[in-house]
Amino acid sequence: MQKNNINNIYYLGPNGSNTYYAAIKFLERENLTSLNKLPQKSIKSAAENFENDINSLCILPIENSIEGIVRETLDNFLTLKDNSIQIQGEITIPINHMLLSNAKNKKDIKKIYSHPQALAQCGNYLYKNFPDAELKEVSSTGYAAQKVSTETDSAAIANITCSDIFNLNIVAENINDEKGNQTRFYILGRNSDNNLNMGKTALMLSTKNQHGALCSVLQIFAKYNINLSCIESRPSKKKLGEYVFFMELDGFKEETNIKKSLTEIKNNAEFVKILGSFKEYKCS
C-alpha cells in the first residue's frame, strides 16, 4: 500500500454511507486516519476527483453479496485515463442495518426512510414491527439518517456510524431479514504494491467479436491452472450483444503463470486492462 505523499481520500458520501463506514475501517487498519476525508455525490465524481489528484486514494464499492457486482464502479474503470492507477487493496464489511431515530419508542415512529435496497432487505422486519408505517425511498442510507435527524416521528435504516454523526438513538440493531449481507470495496491508488506474495488480480478485457472468443480466453487461464474467482459482463454500449468482461483471478500479476497467461491473452483480446493485484481483507 502506497502511503507517502497521500493527503486525501475520495468516496461515495454522504458521511454515514456504507462506503464511509468502509473508508473509516480501512483508514484505521492502515494508520491513515489523518487523511482528509472527501465525500462525493456519486461514484463517478469520486473516481474523477481521485484521478485529478495524484496525492489521493479512492474507495469504491465493487460487490454486494445480495445485489451482485456494482456496475457503476466497473463502468468508471473503463473511463479512467491515468494508467498508473491501480487497485491497491480491498476491504469487505458486514452490512448491518440499524433503525435510528430521534424517537426512543417504536410506537412513535410513523415514517421510515432509507435507500430502496435497504428497505427491501428489511422487508419482513418492517412488515412485522411497523405494519402501518409509511416507507419512504431516498437516494442513500446516509441521506435518510440526515433527514430523520430533523424529525420526531420518523426513523432511518442506516449503519451504526449515522447514530454518532446525526446524534440518533438506536431503536433496533441488525434488522436485516437475511444475515450475512456483506459489501466488498476496492481501494485505488497509484502504482502497484510490489511486496505481494499472494493475492488476487482484477482485470477487464474485450474479446474479438468471433465465435468462441471468450472461451479461448478462459482456456488460456485453465492451461496455466489459474482459477477465475469472478466474471461479469458489461455491455460495450455500442451494440447489443457486444461485451467487456470484468474478471478476478487467484494470484498476483508478477507470478510466472499469471504473467504468461496475460501475455497470451493479449494476443487473443481486443484490449486487456490490468486493474491491479491486492490481498483480500475481511472486516468483522
In the complex, minimum distance from the CB of residue 43 to its own copies, in angstroms, rounded to a whole number = 13
In the complex, minimum distance from the CB of residue 234 to its own copies, in angstroms, rounded to a whole number = 6
Give the residue with the Cβ less far from its own copies, 104 or 237: 237
CA 50 – CA 186 distance, rounded (Å): 13
258 three-class SS: helix
Residue with cell 469504491: 60
Q: Footprint of its own copies on this chain (CB under 8 A)?
A: 63-69, 71, 92, 178, 180, 182, 184, 211-212, 214-216, 218-219, 221-222, 225, 227-235, 237-241, 243
In the complex, minimum distance from the CB of residue 98 to its own copies, in angstroms, rounded to a whole number = 21
Give the residue with the Cβ less far from its own copies, 69 or 258: 69
CA atoms within 13 A on the CB side of 29: 17
In the complex, minimum distance from the CB of residue 194 to its own copies, in angstroms, rounded to a whole number = 26
In the complex, minimum distance from the CB of residue 118 to its own copies, in angstroms, rounded to a whole number = 16
In the complex, minimum distance from the CB of residue 233 to its own copies, in angstroms, rounded to a whole number = 6
CA 118 – CA 134 distance, rounded (Å): 15
CA 256 – CA 258 distance, rounded (Å): 6
Give the residue with the Cβ less far from its own copies, 120 or 165: 120
* Angle (CA) 196 197 203, round 5°: 60
In the complex, minimum distance from the CB of residue 171 to its own copies, in angstroms, rounded to a whole number = 27
Give the residue with the Cβ less far from its own copies, 52 or 227: 227
Which uninterrupted H or E stretch holds 220? helix 213-223
Handedness of CA 280, 253, 69, 27 (dihedral sign): positive
Query: Pairing between strand 243-250 and 228-235?
Result: antiparallel
CA atoms within 13 A on the CB side of 260: 10
In the complex, minimum distance from the CB of residue 199 to its own copies, in angstroms, rounded to a whole number = 15
Helix/strand number for the chain, H first, E second: 9, 15
Provide DSSP, 76-137: HHHH---TTEEEEEEEEEE---EEEES-SSGGG--EEEE-HHHHHHTHHHHHHH-TTPEEEE
Handedness of CA 15, 16, 22, 27 (dihedral sign): positive
